[in-house]
Structure 1
Amino acid sequence: VSIQSTNSNNTTIGITGDDVILTFTPEEPLLTDSIVVTIAGEPTILTQDGDNYIATLTLSGDEPGGILSYTIDFKDRAGNLGIQVISTTDDSYVNHDIIPPEILAVSIFSNNSDTTWAKPGDSVYVKFVANEELDNLNIIISGTSSDYLYDGPVTYSGYHIMDEDDDEGIISFNISYTDLGGETGPDADSTTDESIVRYDRTLPEVFNVRMASNNTMGDSAGIGDIDSVFFTATEAQRNVIVVISDSSLTPVQEGLGFIATRIMNGDDTDGGITFSITLEDSAGNSTGEVTETDDGSGVWFDGTPPLLNPVSFTSTNENDQGLAILGDTLYLDFTSNELLSSLSVFIAGLEADSIENQTRTPYRAWHVLDGSEEEGYIPFQIIFVDLVGNPGDTVVSTTDETSILFDITPPADFEIDTVYVSGGTV
């Protein structure tokens, strides 16, 4: 004894319109008129095929759901009543499915670090749970028929790898399906937890990139000056990295505008200050490294203090340039290794009377001795700053060991002790 349905998906399941076929073979000839077969309590159509009998019932939908019951009553040719048959010999059965399939829970997410966004190459998953096992799944994600994974009892995940052909914006989906018996359930095209995934395949950009310093010379910087990089993004970002002179910085943001700043120090390398900007939008699309300004601006860093060499100190004394008396002029000659923005010279504790070539090198400062100075070796002091504001070490000595001794004390009186005459007549 065996039972099955004509369901095209699964012969152990029957839905409205399917035929349920009960086939049996008696051990001895039967009185055909005595055979009565019911399925689900309803009479069947009985046919014979050789020694086999076939009882058929077309499901109307009024039959009870679940495993269909059946009975076979019969007599042999001698009129003996056989034992009623209510089970198969091969454990076959037909389950009458009267409950349509339904998707109960749906969510969508991506494998992006932010699961609500996707970029090209990301996978988008639509996960759903049904009220029963499903068949004939047709899952459309972003307009493309998608594969799916079976995640366990009545749980499935459709997935699609995003590419340049997919439309930007909120990703759409649709799920059509049947149950194992072929019964169609309502399509699912929205989530039950309000989850969404936005697709973004447009690379972000930065523009209005420029660099400046707070130095009075905006295109130069010295030790302690602040170098700033300004830029604007084309869209919202989830990550931005700015590097100035090998230091990673967090920029200050206002709207889509950014400013990154760095205080320059003595460990930084002299020359043009380098920078890079890398920005990722909300989906993780990157600008790549931006290393050039849009307006050609840049800042030159000078972290090297200026030097004076040679430095020489002489006087106009007629007898010895290393000596001086009242009225002599003292000359302090020196050369800088770079242009200076500030220069102060003091000779004998007084500001120099004048400095030649104040805006270029070499320099000459002088002072005329008027007696207000202290007698002895004349001190001097040179205070100087380069164009970007780096101060040089104050110079108080020469490089050629020259010096000036100021002498305002006349020699002591002397007497002639003895006069000797040699030769001639006195």
Structure 2
Amino acid sequence: MSAPSNRALTTRDWNRRSVLRAALGLTAAGSLAACGGDNGRGGGSGSGTRLTQYFHAYGEAGTEQAVKRYAKAYDGADVSTQWITGTNFESKLFSALLTENAPDVFEFHPQIQLVKSGQVADLTELVEPVKDDFNPADIASHTIDGKIWGVRMIDDPQFFYYRKSLLADAGVEPPATLDELVEAAAKLTTDKVRGVFLGNSVTPVMNPLIWSTGADTLTDGNEIAYHTDAVAQGLTKLRSMFADGHLLLDAPADWWDPSALTQGLVAMQWCGMWAMPVIEEALGDDVGIIPFPASADGGRPAVVNGGWSMFVNAKSDHLDEAKEYVKWLWIDQKEHQEDWALSYGFHIPPRTSLAESAEKLRTGLAAEGVRLFNEFGHFDNPAWTQAMIVALEGVVADAVRKGGDPEAALDKADRTVGRELKKLFG
């Protein structure tokens, strides 16, 4: 989660942003060996009940210690923490959920397959009394069949960071449209600096591209909504930046790590609000932020609102105790929730009362991030599954990196997404 502003984020053990929007599906096999070193065993008076919680390895220094400190303060059970390093948290989590060593509590993202498979417990009774103090969009994204299935811990907006001085030297204004972004990338590219970094795979901006045209991934009726002429044209524009050499590719660290920007490899980078303290520490006031720019007539800028949520394993042998722990930490302990959101980097607390009182988010670049979050943000769609995510990643690979026909790439994705929708909704 958050990290001291004087320490750069690394990717050695951080894959927090890989495949954010949905689960892998409960098809993996095998068990998960213990990961993460010290198990963080709770040391309170406890009840003799032992609970295990899974977290992916956040990149910000101090996060692992914070999670274990919270668990140790809980006296209702002995809570151990599996701090899962590496690049495949999702597969390790979902493999473990199929075994007798499954966690009682785990972090992930709202996922309709988790509900349909009976893997996550209904947490409506925990959240309902404080529902009005949560961001309504977070409640909506965690509500399936009228029930609330997870508790949001942090909201993580993603947008473009840019070096003010580099744009000024090139005579470039912060782009307000995709066409302007293409032009800016060309003007900002030199023999030492690339104009724009969209991630090594370019896939992180696929959804923002869709939203910025005025389209969406799915309709309210769960039908394909992303396959439009404007999206195809937007892919062509991304391809032009790629083909002309104006995108930074194969960076030492991927898009979630701000080092491409802070080390002067690029003039503009797509990244998240979590990295803001590190970026400001490195660049001072020579940095601004903008949303993904409007990509079509009638479109509007877009911001991804990522984040992480806590779920209870419905098949836990200690279901009631697990629910009580989640309630204690993520509903009752607002001091811990504020610490988690703001002491190790910048995240927006999903609790409205905490977000409004957060001094660190009231001024400067952070306040601008909150404004963009509120004005242009798009939240999780629990019906958008991992197979659908992979299908659109394939569109970027085919149409942007390989230079294939965008319509053909979108047609290919339609077949996969259509099969998924049929499985989910008939």
TM-score, with length taken from structure 2: 0.17
More helix by share: 2
Bigger Rg over Cα: 1
